[in-house]
Structure 1
Amino acid sequence: MSNAPAHALDTRALNRATLARQLLLEPSDVPVHDAVRLLGGLQAQEPQEPFVALFSRLRSFAPATLSDLLVERRLVRTHLMRRTVHLVTADDALAWRARHEPMLRQRVLATYRDELRGADLEQLAADGRELMSDGEPRTMSELVREVTGSRPAPHPRALGELLVPALVPVAQIPPRGLWRTKAGVRNVLLTSWLGRPIDPADPTGTDGGDPVGRALVLRYLAAFGPAATADLRAWSGLAGLPAAVAGARDELVSFRDERGRELLDLPDAPRPDPDTPAPVRFLPAFDNALLGYQDRRRIVDDAHRGLSVAGERVVLLDGRVAATWTTEGGTVTVTPLRRFSRADRTAVGEAGRSMAGFLSDGEHHRTRVLASPR
C-alpha cells in the first residue's frame, strides 16, 4: 500500500460507493447465486426479507430461483456474522464458519453468563454433534431435550442458543426461507446438509497470520468498501482481525473520511462520481447496506440510525434513508422521515407500486405515501 497521503472521501462519495457495491445504484443482471456471493450474504432472520432485498437489486428477479437454490443446497441459511441468520452460498458457509465459531460462543456466553456457568462446552458440543449426525432435522428444543435426556435443563433457552448455533454448526433447512412459505426452524448439521466438511480456520497454521480472515477482509471490502476496520468488525462481529487486515494491506488502497478515519479498499473496486443519480430503492428489514457499518452516516442520518436495528423496512431516496415502509393487503404504505417534494413523492410512489406488485403477485396493489413531517 502506498505511503502517499490518503485521499479524502466525503459522505456522498462513500454513499455512492456503497450503493454500487450493494447493487443499489442500478439494477444488476448477475444471477441470484452470484448476487448473494457478491453481497457477502443477506441478513435473513426474517425469512422473506432476502426476496425483497434481491427484488430491489436485480433487474429480473424470479423468487422461485432463490427458493430452488435453497432446495438444491447451493445457498444455505445459517448463523454467521453477528450471530444472526444469514443467507449465504454453500461455499461461504463452509469457508467462514470456523472463523466465526469463537465469536458465536462468546456472544451466547456473554448473554447467558450466569445461566451457563460451569457448563462443559466441549462435552455439550460433542453430544450435540453426535445426536445431529443421524441427519434427522431437529428444532432447538428437541435438541436440548435429547442432549439433556432425563436430566432437567435448568435454562433450556440458554442451552438451546448455546447448542444452536454456537457449538453445533447447523443449516436451517427448507421449507423455511422459501417464497411465500411459513415454516418453523428445523436444523441439520451444516456438513450433512452440504455434504462437505467445514474449512479449518487457518488452513496453513504456519505463518502466524490469518489467511481465512484475510480472505474475509477482501470479500467485505468488495461488498462494502471503502470502510474502516471498525466497520468490518460491525459487519462480521469479529474482533480479532488485526492480523487479517495486516496481511491484506499490500493489496489495498487507503482513504480518509470526513472524520479523519482511515478507510481501506480494493484498488479497482467501483467508486462512482458522487453526483451519479441514485434511484429510489425499497430495502427489507435488517438490510446489510445499513448494518454493514459501524459508522452508518454514509447512508442514514444519526437521528434515524436505530431504524436499522429495530427491523424497520426503509426507503432510500437519493441514496439515503428517507422513509419507512410497510405492506398489507396489496398496499405499500410509505412514512416519510423528512419533507418530500412533489417529484420525491412521485418517484417513491412509482417504486412503491413496483414493490407492491411484486409482493402481491398481480393482485390489486397500490402505494400510499403519507404526509411528510412538518
Structure 2
Amino acid sequence: MDDVLPLRTLNRTLLERQFLTERTGRGAAEVVERLVALQGQEPNWPYLGLWARIADFRREELAALLADGRVVRSASLRSTQHLSGGADFGRWRPLLQPVLDRTSRARYFAPATDGLDLDELAATGRELLAGRTLSRQGLAVELATRYPGRDGRLLAAVVQLRVPVLHGPDSSAWGGWGTRPNTSLALAEQRPGELSAGAAVLRYLAAFGPAGVKDFQAWSGLTRTRTVFEELRPRLRAYRDERGTELFDLPDAVLADPDRPVPVRFLPAYDNLLLGHADRTRVLADPDRPRVMPGSARVLPTFLLDGSVAGTWAVDGAELRVTPFRPLPDAAAGEVAAEAGRLAAFLAPGQRVSFTGEPGTREPAAGGPAAGGPGLRPGR
C-alpha cells in the first residue's frame, strides 16, 4: 500500500524544492533551470520570483543572462510567456508545441484567422522573420499587408504561438509594468535534443513533486499523460495524499520534515508555487483561492506565513500595501512587516509599507519612509 503523505509534508517538501524555506546561494541561471521556467507575462515578475529564492539576488544578474541569451523569453508552459534557460527552451518547445497549436485555434483569434491555413500563416511568419529582427508591431503591420482586411496584431500573436519566436531582452527589462508593444522578435535558433515527455515529467517532479498526473497536466498544459507516468512507474516512488490521490516522486528525492519552521516569503503574481499543481491546497486553502485568483486568468502577488498563502500585496505609487486575509498574531505581524520592508527596499529604496485588510487585522508598526514606487499592479 502506498504511503500517505500529510498535507504539511507536501507543503514543506514543495517549499524546499522551490528554494523558499531558505534562500539559496545558487546563481539565477541554475535556479531558473531547476524551476524549468518562470512565468514572465509581466516583465518584472521573474525578478521578484528570483529575489524570493536567491540570497543577495541582484536585478543585474538576470538582465545579464537575458542579454547574452542564457535565459530567454517566449511562449511556453500553458501557452503563456515564460523565462527559461536558452538551451532548455530548445528542448522544451517541441514538446509543448501541440499545446501552443491548440491555443492558436482559440475563438479569440477567429476574427483574424477564419478561413486561413494556420500552417501557411506560420510559414509566412517564418519568412518575414528570417535573418532579421522585427518589433511585435512591425510583424503585425507586415502580416496585415500580406493578409488584407485581417487584424495583424492577432495574426502576429498566432505566429508567435506556432513558431518558436524569442522576445528580445528589452521585453524582460526591469522597469515599467505591462506588455511592451514594440518588443523585438526573432526566430529561435534550431537546436537538437528535443525533450521526451518522460524526461519532462522527471524535471517537473524534481521541482514540484510529489505530484499527480493532473498536477503535471495543469502545470504544463499537456494532456493525456497518464501513459507517460505509467511507463515511468518502475522508476518512480508512489504515494497517496490525504484525499487518496496517487502522487509520484523521484525515487531518491527527500521528503521534508513537516515540522520544519519556514520564513515569511513574498511572491510575485503567477508564481510557480501557485501554478505548479491542479490541487493547490498544499499552499493555498480553498476558501482563500478566489482572493488570489479572482478571475480573468489573474493570479495576484501573495505572501506566505508558515508556508501557506496568508494574504496578497500590491504597490500603489509610494506604498507597498500588504493585505492579510485574517488578523495576524503579534509575532507573525512583525515577521510579515520585516519581510515586506525587505521587498520594499528591493522594489525602490525608501518605499513605504502599509497594511490593509479586514476589520481586526493588526497593522504592524513597521515600514520605511515614502519614496516613488514602480507602479506595480496586481497582475493580469
TM over 0.5: yes
What residue identity is the alignment partner of 2:356?
L
Deviations 1:275-295 (A, max 9, x none): 111110000011010011111
> How far, CA to CA, are the matches of 1:33 and 1:153 in structure 2?
44
Contact kept? 2:170, 2:184, Cα under 8 Å: no
* Equivalent residue, structure 1, for 2:4: 8
Alpha-carbon offset, residue 155 of structure 1: 4.1
Q: Deviations over 1:32-51 (max 9, x none)?
A: 10011111111110100111
Residue 197 of structure 1 aligns with which residue? 190
**2:325 pairs with 1:324:** no
Q: Match for 2:175 among 165, 177, 180?
A: 180
Using the TM superposition, give the Cα deviation of residue 162 of structure 1 relative to its aligned residue in structure 2, in angstroms: 1.3
Once the two structures are superposed, residues 189-208 of structure 1 have per-residue CA deviations (whole angstroms, 9 ceiling, x without a partner) of 342xxxx414465xxxxxxx
1:111 corresponds to: 107
How much does 1:150 deviate? 5.4
The one of 258, 262, 277 aligned to 1:293: 277
Query: Could you say which residue in structure 1 is the equivalent of 2:224?
Result: 240
Q: Distance in 2 between matches of 1:311 and 1:185?
A: 25
Amino acid in the other structure paired with 2:171: R
Q: 1:368 aligns with which of 341, 346, 354?
A: 354
SS in 1 for 2:172: coil
Match of 2:127 among 123, 127, 130: 130
d(CA) in 1 for partners of 2:253, 2:358: 37
Kindly indicate whether the alpha-carbon contact (under 8 Å) linking 1:76 and 1:89 is maintained by their aligned counterparts in 2: yes
Instruction: Name the % identity.
Output: 37
* Runs of 5+ unmatched residues, structure 2: 361-380
Pairing partner for 1:84 from 57, 80, 83: 80
Q: Assess, with a 3 A threshold, how the Cα gap between structure 1 residues 365 and 159 changes in structure 2: closer, same or farther.
A: closer
RMSD of equivalent CA atoms: 1.9
Cα-to-partner distance string for 1:159-180 (whole Å, 9 max, x where unaligned): 232112x222111102221223
The 1:99/1:188 distance shift into structure 2, 3 A limit, reads same
| Alignment coverage as a number of residue pairs | 353
**Structure 1 SS opposite 2:134:** coil
Moved more, 248-257 or 284-293: 248-257
Distance 2:135 2:233 in 1: 43
The reply to whether residue 169 of structure 1 matches residue 170 of structure 2 is no
1:340 to partner: Cα distance? 0.9
Q: Does 1:266 align with 2:254?
A: no
Structure 2 Cα separation of the partners of residues 150 and 97 of structure 1 = 27
Greater Cα offset, 152-161 or 248-257: 152-161
CA distance in 2, matches of 1:267, 1:200: 25
Q: Which residue of 2 aligns with 1:205?
A: none
Residue 251 of structure 1 aligns with which residue? Answer: 235
CA distance in 1, matches of 2:243, 2:66: 42
Q: 1:330·1:357 contact (CA, 8 Å) conserved in 2? A: no
Q: Report which stretch shifted further, 216-225 or 323-332.
A: 323-332
When residues 48 and 158 of structure 1 are mapped into structure 2, their CA distance, relative to the original with a 3 A threshold, is: same
Summarize the alignment of residues 300-339 of structure 1 with structure 2, pairs less than 5 Å apart: 300-306=284-290, 307-308=292-293, 309-339=297-327
- The one-letter code of the counterpart of 1:18 is L
SS in 2 for 1:86: strand
Aligned twin of 1:219:
203
Unaligned runs of 5+ in 1: 202-210
Q: Report what 1:207 is aligned to.
A: none
SS in 2 for 1:149: helix
